[in-house]
Structures are given as structure tokens and as C-alpha cells.
Chain A
Amino acid sequence: MTSTKKTSKHELIPVHEKLSDTEKEKLLSALGISFREIPKIRKNDPALAEMDVKAGDIIKISRKSVTAKNTVFYRGVTDV
């Protein structure tokens, strides 16, 4: 997993990390869904600017949450 923590990032942007292929398979089977069903993020999203991503990748997003302090969210990368 490549970390993209950078000090200059805006406080509204949570940490985005790319999942490896094995992690991706594991996640999808654990959730029992296909890639089509997870929320999406565009490939040209500013938050992914410094990351090497392609359509079909899954991004792990570690959000700060008011109700649970930290939550993890996943988005699949799409073209367009």
C-alpha cells in the first residue's frame, strides 16, 4: 500500500490509499459485492493527482467522522 500523506493537503481531504490487487479481491468478497456496486471516484479527481491509479482500482479513504472518529470508506476508480 502506497501512502500519500502530504503536509500540504487540505484538511477536508482525507487520506486516500490505493488497495493492492489481493486486498481488492479480499475486500470485494468480504463485502459480497462486485466492483460495479461500490461508490465511485473519478480518475482525474484532484485528490488522486499524485497517485498512479487506473480505472478498476479501489481507493481506501480514511475519513474523520463526527459520530465514530475514524471511518473507512471505499471508492472504485472510474474513467471520465
Chain B
Amino acid sequence: MGGMTEHLPAIIVAVPLLAALIVTVVWWFNDRLCFPLSVAAGLVVCGASANLFQKVLTQGVIEYRLGGWPPPVGIVFRVDHLNGLILVVVTLVAFLNLVASRRSAEKEFRDKVGAFYALFLLFITGLFGILITGDAFNLFVLLEIASLTGYALIGIGSGRASLSGLNYLLMGTIGASLYLFGVGILYVLTGSLNMVDIAGILPNLWPSSAIVLAFLLCMGGLFVKMALFPLHAWLPNAYTHAPSVVSSLVAPLTTKVMIYAMMRVALTVFTFDFAFNQIAVRGPILWLAILAIVGGSLMALSQRRLKKMLAYIVVAEVGYMVGGFWLGNKAGMSGAVLHIINDAVMTLCVFLAAAAITIRTGDDRLSSLRGMFKRMPLTMAVMVLGGLSLIGVPPTCGFFSKWYLISGGIEAGHLGFVMALIISSLVNVVLFFRCFEIGYFEPFMRGGEPHSAPVEPGYGAPTVQEAPVEMLFALLTTALLLLLLGLFSGQIVTRVIHQALPAVLG
């Protein structure tokens, strides 16, 4: 096995890629094999990422040379504390989602099950690749692998899904092309595409308007991809109209991985000194983040569909992480990184609960939550936990990252950001307690009329009709993760995240 562990970074990308191919072929012969094959690939990747993270913790940064070519010429995969941690959580979230998707995929895709699993695996291939690559151009290619499969997954859905998918595609392509343009300018300036190599050459060229342009193009492109506030228009519709298993895959992962990419490009390619001291973009980006938080929260209030409400919460959460990062101090950045992993789990939690409810009711309108606590007690219990975490109630993990973000804001003296976080938490209270109120107190409805008296014996009172077993398993594991991440957040921050931050922050 000694030989195998050396190749762990390659395994993480190669296994889902090959599994996607195998699933596509096997699908022609027996579509029942698609699910177990995908789960097997998911398990391998989870194991590999945990192993890799363990290695990073003991040995420090791991650099894997693809094909054995040394860095400036060849492509490298580079795993440090930052992406090692995020990789573990992302593989776990993807795996749980895969397990949960079984019934829902059979129901929603029927004869396209194989295509769904193949796209699923390709999508996570792209995300894992983005997380571990150390090459600026390679990042673009993997970005597009993840995005293209994302467009297709969203477009599979019925009704308005294809229109939302196409809008997402047009916006996403603008984002990716801007990033590619930025990388092109960096290549003209430095003659290199390796992130660490570029970072070594760039400081000799300061000050240069071309570097500033490259920085703005790269950041602008990634802002489109992560749906930062004025560029968020594609997200709510895409996540609402997508099949519910797809929303619970795409929503927790895409935006978080893109925020990681922003951190990686800002810190590793352009370096902390350039991004925070040489150019004055920190202030404007912070205000964009504040607008995202307040705007996303307020628009979530006006939604009458559960998934759309959650999608707007995702828009607000993007603001949390972008804002925390651009505070530029230790607490803010720690909070941003911690929030990436916490938010991935929280978003998975609430979107999975929404998917479970959609399976049973066939609808995700808030009004269809009536009587849901009696009908799906476990699912709703998990949703309450996810809601509390998004609000930021201890001991769920959401509290701790919000704590770091707020203390970072206070430390930086940025009152606007602190206020935005508090407003958004209060709005989340309203949002989720409205759901809980409908679910708990409003009477169960059948056919649009509340039943004051049972029409037939046992007809008026809803019977317990829980989510499918696989989904329940994923939901309960996610709930457990929410608590575990909360309990261990101190250790995660001191032992992992502080190692990942730039040395200047101390």
C-alpha cells in the first residue's frame, strides 16, 4: 500500500472520473448497478481524502506531480491544510448526497438514472480537482467540468429547469471566460501557469496595471461563479427548478468550492500582500458581501417556496464567507474557512430535508409543510437542527463560524459587516420559525381544504410517512455532523485552519 498512498491526490480525481465512464457503459446492460457502483466510488474517494488529510496533518504540504513532471513545466496537485480540510468535508457531503439520492433519482429520472449518476460523478470529479490542483489553467478546465455537468444536471429537471439551466450556463460561461482571460494575462507577464511559481515571479513586477487587471478578471470571474450579490441572478432559479436531489448536491458544494478557489487565487497566486496591501479592493468587496448578506436575507423573506427560500439563504451565506475572508484578519479568515465546511453541511441538511418533503408531498410550497411534524417527525427534527445551525444557535456548528466572523468584523472595526451578520441571523430566525410554525401548528390539509373533522376514519390525521431509508440515513448523519463540527470547532480552528492562513497574520 506504500505505493498507493503516494498517488492519493490522483486517486481522488481519477476514481470518480473512471467510475463515471463505467457507470455509463454498465447502464446499457443493467441500470440497477449504477447506484452501487457510484456509492463504491464515493466510498473510495471519502477514504482517500481522509487518508490524505491525515498525511497533510503529519507531514505538511503534499505536492503530487502528474506524470512525474516537475512543477513549472508539469501540472501539480497540491494539498495543504486549507484544501485538505475542505476536501474531506466536500467528499463526505457528496457521498451522503449520493446515498440519499437513490429513491429520488429513480422517481425523478426513471430511464435516465445512469445519465444522472454519470453526471453526478463527473460533477464531483470537477469539484475535487478544483480543490487540489496547483495549476491556474488546470483550475479553469476543472471549473468547466464541474460547471458543464452542473448545467446538465439542472437542465434534466422538468418545467422551467432547462430555462434556468441555460441562464446559469450563459452566466457561468462569462465567469469562466473572465477567469481564463485573467490567467492569460498572468501567463503573458510571468510565462508560468503554476500557482506557486507565478506567486514567486509577480512581486518583482509590482506595481503593474496589468497585474491589477488580471486580478480583477480572475476575481470577477469567480464572483460570477459563486453568485456574489449583484451577479447572483442565476442561482435562485437554477437551484429551485432543478430536481431536488440535484439542488441538494449543487447548492452545498458549488458556491463553497468557488469561494475556496477565490481564496486560493488571492492567497497563493497573487499573495496576501498584493491582495490586501497593494490594491484597494478590500473595501468595495466587503460592501458587496454586506449587500449579499442583507439582500439575500430580505429576498428569502418574500419567497413562498421552500427551495427558493433556501436558495436565497445560500446567496446570503456567500456574503458571509466572502466578507469574512476580505476582512483580512485572523479571526475573519478563520471564520470564513470554518464557514465553508459548516455551511456545506448545513446547506446539505436543509436541502436534503426539502428533498425528502418534496418526495412525499410532490411540492415544495411553504403551505405544503402543514402537519409535517406529525407526518415526517425525523426529517423535520433534522430540519429544525439545520435551521438552528443556519440561525447560529449553539451547540450547532453555525454558531461557531458566525462567532469567528463577528469577532473578525469587530477586530477590523467594520461595523457594517457585523450589523449585516446580525440582521441576517434575525431574518433566518423569522424564516425558519415560519416554516416550523406552519409545520407544527397549522392543520394538515388534503386537497387544499383543512380537515376539521375526519372524513373517513383515520383520514384526517396524517399518518407517519417518513423519507426513504437511504435519505433518512443521510439526514441523520448530516445532523450528527452538524453537532460534531460544532463540538470540535475549536480544535479544527487551532489545529488546521490557523496552519492554513498566511503567515503574516501570525
Tell me whether A and B are bound partners. Answer: no
Interface residues of A (CB under 8 A from B): none
